[in-house]
Structure 1
Amino acid sequence: MLKLNHLTMRFGGLTALKDVSLHIGQNEIVGLVGPNGAGKTTLFNVISGLAKPSSGQVIFDSKNVLKSPLYAKARMGIGRTFQIPQPMHELTVRENLIVAQRFGTGRVNLEKINEILDFLNLSAKAEVDAASELSLTELKALEVGKAMATNPKILLLDEVLAGLETHGKREFLKTLQKLHDKYQISIFMIEHDIETVSNFSQRICVLNFGQIIADGPPSEVFNDPTVIECYTGGDHA
């Protein structure tokens, strides 16, 4: 479904991504981990179209989509959330989903909007101001809802659990698992909590200094000496 071929991203003299190649299969859940500054969000920005790499390819459904505009990538099926929730100000929760849906699909399907609101337990907050009336957990759910409104084939979740306490993380993960099972979509997820990402993901990719240093089942990856060293040695701030 999603294949990255030899992606390199340079900012002046800094190489944020170096020859990154990986794939995400249909209906697969893959975790992306690595120290701060490893290039994880930069990689998501390249996939979603917010950043242009110096070289390489982004293949989605067998098409090179690297030069496709943001709306086109959304309409192909690439959905994205952000670490810091970005509700559209002065719009209700429902209106946030409607705007996202129109951008991502070119039309509005109110039945689908209602389905998403219900699925994410946001129906009771559908008519409140999204920027001022939601809890952190609800804001996170709204981020996922906006991405779901575009009818994605793959969801890029950028630290969607950040800031939630342990119980909140567990409950949110249950929702994500139900979402994955119900809609049969792939999930590519950045997460710092090793236990959480291990329990949720079928595969783990580890990014360090812009390079993939491990890719495989969680039990193998987190016992890899190279991965252990990247988490315990050096300054990656």
Structure 2
Amino acid sequence: MSAPAPLLSATTLARAFGGVVAVDAVSFSLAAGETLAVIGPNGAGKSTLFALIAGQLRPDRGQVRLEGRDVTRLPPHRRARLGLGRTFQAPRVFGALGLGEGVHLAASLCLPAARARARARMLIARLGLEALTDRPVPALAYGDLRRLDLALALATSPRVLLLDEPVAGMAPAERAQLMTLVRAIAAEENLGVLFTEHDMDVVFGHAGRVLVLDHGRVIADGPPDAVRRDPVVRQRYLGTP
């Protein structure tokens, strides 16, 4: 009996901008229930890789598959309907709506009306946003905006969740709290989570696996402790102990 297909797979993805190769033959897979962090120095290709997976960019070469389906040439909204949710470095939210309205609208894009209402209510409660349901989005504190951005990404019941620097700008206690919540929701819903983050405490404290990029290439991929000890990773990114 063959093993089930990974939730997400990238095969020899490549993308150049002029003469600069941003992503160079990157391959990896993400399983259900797995939390994979992508790290690397500035200019390593992390943002480009995320854009290729989410559909904001198309690769020059290579393939992206979502639950075994080739989505390489599909736009972001089609990938969202097939089970890909994402957050952004700067939260992208419905600025003209209240918090509750925004989450419900996001859920209704992919779910039937009754399921959308239930999903929105559940996420607002799960993320501790109930007291802010009627609050206009521009009036939210930054940490609440981050949680709202996560709620919007989860609203469509995705199978794969992409988190682009999900705790950037948050206080240390808020960072740990949000990532613990992400891991709990991912376990409950059997999601695959792919995230990038500059805070190494968050990466090594919450990732089950770490992939390291340097100049667009994968230089390490494995358990956090093994990656932390990898001499090439230490030389090019983490530094000496």
**Which interval holds the TM-score relative to the shorter structure?**
over 0.9
Structure 1 residue identity aligned to 2:97 = L
Q: CA deviation at 1:73?
A: 0.6
Deviations 1:100-122 (A, max 9, x none): 2233x154421111011000111
Kept in 1, the 8 Å contact 2:210–2:223? The answer is yes
Identity %: 33
CA distance in 1, matches of 2:238, 2:142: 31
Q: Which among 18, 26, 34 is matched to residue 20 of structure 1?
A: 26
The residue number in structure 2 matching 1:225 is: 231
TM-score by length of 2: 0.92
Q: CA deviation at 1:181?
A: 2.3
Say whether residues 1:122 and 2:141 are aligned partners.
no
CA distance in 1, matches of 2:47, 2:217: 13
Gapped runs of 5+ residues in structure 2? Answer: 1-6
Kept in 1, the 8 Å contact 2:56–2:75? The answer is no
Structure 1 residue identity aligned to 2:166 = V
Kept in 1, the 8 Å contact 2:23–2:217? The answer is yes
Say whether residues 1:53 and 2:59 are aligned partners.
yes
CA distance in 2, matches of 1:231, 1:34: 6
The residue number in structure 1 matching 2:149 is: 143
Q: Which among 146, 160, 177 is matched to residue 171 of structure 1?
A: 177
TM-score by length of 1: 0.93
Say whether residues 1:82 and 2:79 are aligned partners.
no
Q: CA deviation at 1:99?
A: 2.6
The residue number in structure 1 matching 2:4 is: none
CA distance in 2, matches of 1:15, 1:193: 25
Please report the RMSD computed on the Cα atoms of aligned residues, expressed in angstroms.
1.3
CA distance in 2, matches of 1:192, 1:50: 22
Higher mean Cα deviation, 94-103 or 207-216? Answer: 94-103
Gapped runs of 5+ residues in structure 1? Answer: none
Number of residues of Structure 1 aligned to a counterpart in Structure 2? 231
Q: Which among 171, 188, 199 is matched to residue 194 of structure 2?
A: 188
Structure 1 residue identity aligned to 2:133 = A
CA distance in 1, matches of 2:197, 2:36: 10
Say whether residues 1:41 and 2:47 are aligned partners.
yes
The residue number in structure 1 matching 2:215 is: 209
